[in-house]
Structure 1
Amino acid sequence: MPTTMRAVEITRPGGPEVLALTEQPVPQPMAGQILIEVAYAGVNRPDALQRAGAYAPPPSASPLPGLEAAGRVAAVGPGVSEWSVGDEVCALLPGGGYAEYVVTPAAHALPVPNGLGLKEAACLPETFFTVWTNVFERGGLKAGERFLVHGGSSGIGTTAIQLASAFGARVFATAGSAGKCAVCTELGAERAVNYRAEDFVEILRAEGGADLILDMVGGDYLPRNVRALADDGRLVQIAFLSGPKVELNFAQVMARRLTITGSTLRPQSDLAKARIATALRERVWPLIAAGRVAPVMDSEYPLSEAAAAHARIESSGHVGKIVLKVR
């Protein structure tokens, strides 16, 4: 086992150019943790927010970016019995994924699904944990309900469309071009709305309103989402790309019995994340193994080009997931 590793660090808050390839000590697994020799790391918008100084990691987490990775177990900490050295895993991480080695709670790792390689598996944890907990647990999506996801061509969006469709919901999505809308319908959306040319509020209201909306846009989408909901509908907020503040008439929320909620994944307890991992393994991993659900891949960059990967995700030109090839 080497004592040092290549890793990408955030040298200061700023744009993609502040990411630098450095040499760091290899972390050691503590009780209940595993050490993963990383093959691929997923790139996500929270990584870009952390780089910009807008999303601080928890005090106990690595300051290095990277919230998901796939690779092989290199070592196990005391008390770990479910994994052995050499097992191929993908895992949700508290941080530190942009590196050759990373530690994470053993309960946050999942086996690489049958039929997938490590590259594809690295795209699963962050988006699948987020979608499962927000759409199915917090949002309570049921078969036959009308579900709207904004940013349908993003990593979250492509995952949400597939899972909602697989569990029997009627799926609607928004995206910013005809090509991205086509991707959404190919993945299972019955209607994809080009938000640059159409009004999702009118379209959803014509269908009877959305029973559930998953939104990461925020800003002026908040009152529009309220109008697009059916009576007794639910809005789940997971990010604010257009800002968290807006004027909203809560009389509609009361009169129509609407529910507005939201969550972030990273600050949740280790136990909460372990429970999500168990649910995914039981309910979703069989769908992936059967080929009914799969990560949508956009692009791959070497670890040394993490800045280019961040520029790509912040351009919003991507469709699906971006990964860093570490080995």
Structure 2
Amino acid sequence: MRAVVIEGAGGPEVLSVQEVDDPVPGAGEVLIDVVAAGLNRADVQQRRGYYPPPAGASPVPGLEVSGTIADAGDSQFAEGDAVVALLAGGGYAEKVVVPAGQVVRAPEGVDLVEAAALPETAATVWSNLVLQAGLAPGDDVLIHGASGGIGVMAIQVSLALGAVPHVTAGSAAKLDVARSLGVRTLVNYREQDFVQELMAATDGRGADVILDVVGAKYLARNIQALATGGRLVVIGLQGGATAELDLGALMGRRASIAGTTLRARPVAEKAAIMAAVRESVWPLVATGAVRPFVDRTFPLAQVAEAHAYFDAGEHTGKILLLMP
């Protein structure tokens, strides 16, 4: 089969498509003929040499795919079933082996190519906003990076649950995406202070939940932006990994901080998250409350161009790779 190989740490030029051995499913695994794979920041960090795959995972990048079952093994699936899967690696390839628990049938009414935009974003958002932070109807939620795949999914899920999203992004065009989804508090972080804007929008109360992809750079201001009893969930480190924390400010708000990743979690945990996605997010997809946002697609042979486009930072929603 053809798959993407990372030939050393660096820019998009280190990515090439090569012939490699087909993966062979083991006990409890299924084999998927891949239709499309989603690009994620974790893939970029792996390419740059900062985020190696977990022990035992494929060195091929790619954390989410859509496709059809080629070998169902002893799973509940049948050959030919249309599915999506959450991966620890291996998605940038014509075939991938996945633990069966991390595979769910693709939601009805969604094109199988576009469905590749859903598993990583839905699993990340549901596990962090709902399972971790306990997002509830009426909660004010601050979402950083509003126009990316995670941000767009977080906005849609928040609105579907009756929460009130407030967002940050770095351009008017990106904020327009959030506006089109129904968000009213739109903060251009290059021109405005998100703490001030959030406090104005919430009558000085702050956010019940903050979903943060920035990390260290935003830590102090995120604490300032929390409401009493607020929950900060850090899922990315685009702004660095080390910062000083004012514990007094945290304690004064009776607030909490959680830092999570998805890729390295045990198979059983990822299976439970995907089961929750199937049970709770797929019905929202069926009603149209949640839908995949695809910015652009690239054929597998243009993986370097796809990564260059991702690195430019101008996309909104997901970038997908299409298998030949």
Common fold: TM-score over 0.5:
yes
**Residue correspondence of structure 1 range 139-154 to structure 2 within 5 A:** 139-154=133-148
**Residue correspondence of structure 1 range 74-223 to structure 2 within 5 A:** 74-77=70-73, 79-80=74-75, 82-206=76-200, 207=202, 208-223=205-220
> What CA distance in whole angstroms lies between the structure 2 residues aligned with 1:246 and 1:310?
29
Aligned to 2:235: 238
Aligned to 2:63: 67
Contact 1:72–1:86 (CA<8 Å) still a contact in 2?
Answer: yes
Aligned to 1:262: 259
> What CA distance in whole angstroms lies between the structure 2 residues aligned with 1:115 and 1:67?
23
Partner-residue secondary structure (3-state), 2:228: strand
Aligned to 1:305: 302
Q: CA deviation at 1:219?
A: 2.6
How many equivalent residue pairs? 321
Partner-residue secondary structure (3-state), 1:293: coil
- Residues 35 and 137 of structure 1, relative CA distance in 2, 3 Å threshold: same
Runs of 4+ in structure 1 over 3 Å off: none
Please list the CA deviations of residues 30-55 of structure 1 after superposition, one character each: whole Å capped at 9, or x if unmatched: 11111000010101100010111111
Aligned to 1:57: 53
Q: CA deviation at 1:76?
A: 2.2
Please list the CA deviations of residues 6-35 of structure 1 after superposition, one character each: whole Å capped at 9, or x if unmatched: 111101111111001100011011111110
Aligned to 1:323: 320
> What CA distance in whole angstroms lies between the structure 2 residues aligned with 1:49 and 1:275?
26
Q: Which AA in structure 2 matches 1:92?
A: L
Please list the CA deviations of residues 43-85 of structure 1 after superposition, one character each: whole Å capped at 9, or x if unmatched: 11000101111111111110100000011101123x32x1011
> What CA distance in whole angstroms lies between the structure 2 residues aligned with 1:250 and 1:311?
40
Deviates more, 1:83-92 or 1:186-195: 186-195
Matched, 1:44 2:53: no
Q: Which AA in structure 2 matches 1:263?
A: T
> What CA distance in whole angstroms lies between the structure 1 residues aligned with 2:101 and 2:309?
31
Contact 1:205–1:230 (CA<8 Å) still a contact in 2?
Answer: no
User: Scaled by the length of structure 2, what TM-score is found?
Assistant: 0.97
Q: CA deviation at 1:255?
A: 1.6
> What CA distance in whole angstroms lies between the structure 2 residues aligned with 1:282 and 1:189?
26
> What CA distance in whole angstroms lies between the structure 2 residues aligned with 1:220 and 1:73?
43
Please list the CA deviations of residues 86-111 of structure 1 after superposition, one character each: whole Å capped at 9, or x if unmatched: 10101101211100000001111111
> What CA distance in whole angstroms lies between the structure 2 residues aligned with 1:312 and 1:223?
31
Runs of at least 5 residues in structure 2 that lack an aligned partner in the other structure: none
C-alpha RMSD over aligned residues: 0.9
Q: Which AA in structure 2 matches 1:204?
A: L
> What CA distance in whole angstroms lies between the structure 1 residues aligned with 2:167 and 2:252?
26
Q: Which AA in structure 2 matches 1:88?
A: A
Aligned to 1:9: 5
Matched, 1:30 2:26: yes
> What CA distance in whole angstroms lies between the structure 2 residues aligned with 1:218 and 1:316?
18
Aligned to 1:314: 311
Partner-residue secondary structure (3-state), 1:323: strand
Q: CA deviation at 1:318?
A: 0.5
Q: CA deviation at 1:248?
A: 2.2
Q: Percent identity?
A: 50
Runs of at least 5 residues in structure 1 that lack an aligned partner in the other structure: none
> What CA distance in whole angstroms lies between the structure 2 residues aligned with 1:161 and 1:265?
19
Q: Which AA in structure 1 matches 2:260?
A: S
Please list the CA deviations of residues 155-206 of structure 1 after superposition, one character each: whole Å capped at 9, or x if unmatched: 0000000001100001101011111111102123221111111111001122
